[in-house]
Amino acid sequence: MKIALAQLNYHIGNFESNTNNILNCIRKAKSMQVDIVVFSELAISGYPPRDFLEFDHFVSKCLDSINIIASECIDIAAIIGSPSFNHEPKGKRLYNSAFFLCDGKVTAIRNKTLLPNYDVFDEYRYFEPNRTFEIIKYKGKRIALTICEDLWNITENPLYVVNPMDELAKQNPDLIINIAASPFNYEQSETRKEILISNAKHYNLPLFYVNHIGGQTELLFDGGSMVVDNKGKIFEELNYFEEDLRIYDLRFKNSECKIQNVEIENSKLQTPNSKLLFIHDALVMGIKDYFHKLGFKQAILGLSGGIDSAVTCVLAVKAMGRENVKGVLLPSRFSSDHSIKDAEELAKNLGISYEIIEIEEAFNTFEKTLETQFAGLPSDLAEENIQARVRAVILMALSNKFGYILLNTSNKSEAAVGYGTLYGDMCGGISVLGDVYKTQVYELANFINKDKEIIPINSIKKPPSAELRFDQKDSDSLPEYEILDKILFQYIEMSKGPDEIIAMNFDKNIVLKVLKMVNSSEWKRYQTPPILRISPKAFGMGRRMPIAAKYLI
């Protein structure tokens, strides 16, 4: 049996594009005498469709696309993910389904059993869980067709009370096919491999797995579709962060199975081999897809000469091309000469257009306007924030006038503790580094510079500063980032409480101060741009905290 894995980049709600891409893959697979071509979970709608699923029209459009694709499935079968209606009188109105198409029609539908409702997932909000289990018979083979989470209940501490594969295994399948929408984080690929290997070994069955690639606002999908043999050995992984199509010949002899690769012209495999490369490639893809899928063409960002704006700028250029990225230097009376020089050097190294717009006159105007109200009061945070907001006004004015989309350059450390100006440096269309801790930003900068100096060395080495007052440094207000980031990681990613973190030999006063800053800044984070997710726990849709709360404040 020849099985093709089609790893595609879908666009939520773009039925014409999604359908055409699927049809093109089916035609290519048919020309290679493929028996079954497999697409990913909710491929028709894109993932996650979220509250679009509340519209009957949206779901009907999905099913219309399924019927169009089914008509192409003559002398070939396809497995495609799509929502479907639940016609039973009880339960939620939809299923998360895998459609089996052949002979020009839908011949079987299998529904997802395990519906994740944690972190970024909210499938139980929309879908009814499957409660019946039946394999699919095709060309003399018995297929255990599963959907993403259905294979993830094989751990030592299972989250669900039923294991779909245990039920399907009773029907003696010959192979497992799993269609998935597994979002990227820098640990996910290894976790995913362990889960798939465990399933293949436990059930002694070859496993064919297909994932999405592409950016869907904050969620990023890395691909990494794969084939695992019945002994738990990974036969092959598809490309990461790229569309890919692979064809495999699965043969059975007695109780043994053998998998062979059917080569496709110009095929290649590129597996990221480091955490930093994973993060780098994910962020580049996230920027590229956010702009492409929204129809945006050009990006603008403020260049301060600091590490965050430098790394953001490099990633944007790699995603969109230097001709589509514009830098703006916005110096004030507090800006150092080297900051301007470093920003200019970066722009020249990247070959992007840039300009310098002084904010002093605008800042003076605001000071004069508020002269009566601020009379007799010392300069403080209010004046600092005015500068940040003046910069934002200028950047957004250029955005409106010329059609740029502003890139937010704040990092996760700053976002965590509220070290940023709302409607100032916290504004933007997309937050590129909002899930990247400051220490990781430095690692990314060094990774970017590994072959040649792109980011000026001074931007990497100098003490970080917002430069909103004379001789200001981040360390005036925050613990050193090496300490801060470790505390934040334990609290945010690992969900450790203050006592547990203090027990790790962190200073008690620093821990309590940091956790208070995190929780008291929730109202600010609620108003920030979407953040590209690269960690197991990012700010945004996967971390849902109350705003008006007293915990640790």
In DSSP terms, 177 is beta-bridged to 145, 208
Nearest to 271 by CA among 234, 320, 309: 234
Is 289 found in the same domain as 218? Answer: no
pLDDT tens digits for range 318-338: 999 999 999 999 998 887 778
Residue 444 predicted with pLDDT over 90: yes
pLDDT band of 361, cuts 50, 70, 90: very high
Average pLDDT, the chain: 95
Q: What pLDDT is attached to residue 268?
A: 60
Q: For residue 280, give the 3-state DSSP assignment.
A: helix
The DSSP letter of residue 322 is G
Is 210 found in the same domain as 86? Answer: yes
Is 289 found in the same domain as 236? Answer: no
pLDDT tens digits for range 462-500: 887 767 777 777 777 889 999 999 999 999 999 999 999
Q: What pLDDT is attached to residue 263?
A: 73
Q: Is residue 44 within 8 Å of residue 78, measured between CB atoms?
A: no
Is 282 found in the same domain as 260? Answer: no
Is 309 found in the same domain as 257? Answer: no
CATH number at residue 321: 3.40.50.620
Q: Does 375 fall in a domain? A: yes
Q: Find the catalytic residue in 2, 25, 41, 293.
A: 41
Q: Does 504 fall in a domain? A: no
Separation between Cα atoms, residue 79 and residue 284, nearest integer Å: 30
- Residue 41 annotated to the active site: yes
Write down how long the chain is.
553
Is 59 found in the same domain as 168? Answer: yes
- Residue 257 annotated to the active site: no
Is 55 found in the same domain as 18? Answer: yes
Residues of the chain with pLDDT > 70, as a percent, come to 98
CATH number at residue 77: 3.60.110.10
pLDDT tens digits for range 451-472: 999 999 999 998 877 677 777 7
Residue 266 predicted with pLDDT over 60: no
pLDDT tens digits for range 517-553: 999 999 999 999 999 999 999 999 999 999 999 999 9
Nearest to 367 by CA among 315, 411, 332: 332
In DSSP terms, 221 is beta-bridged to 183, 214
Is 262 found in the same domain as 295? Answer: no
- Residue 148 annotated to the active site: yes
Q: Does 515 fall in a domain? A: no
Q: Is residue 69 within 8 Å of residue 22, measured between CB atoms?
A: yes
Q: Find the catalytic residue in 62, 73, 102, 148.
A: 148
Is 58 found in the same domain as 88? Answer: yes
* Residue numbers of the domain that contains 386: 276-477
Q: Does 530 fall in a domain? A: no
User: Looking at this protein, which amino acid is placed at residue 197?
Assistant: I
Among 268, 293, 311, the domain-final residue is 268
Residues of the chain with pLDDT > 90, as a percent, come to 90
User: Looking at this protein, which amino acid is placed at residue 264?
Assistant: I
Is 130 found in the same domain as 11? Answer: yes
Model pTM score: 0.94
Is 331 found in the same domain as 262? Answer: no
Q: Find the catalytic residue in 112, 293, 318, 412.
A: 112
Nearest to 178 by CA among 202, 211, 139: 211
Q: Is residue 334 within 8 Å of residue 372, measured between CB atoms?
A: no
The sign one gets for the Cα dihedral 460, 466, 467, 470 is negative
Is 404 found in the same domain as 256? Answer: no
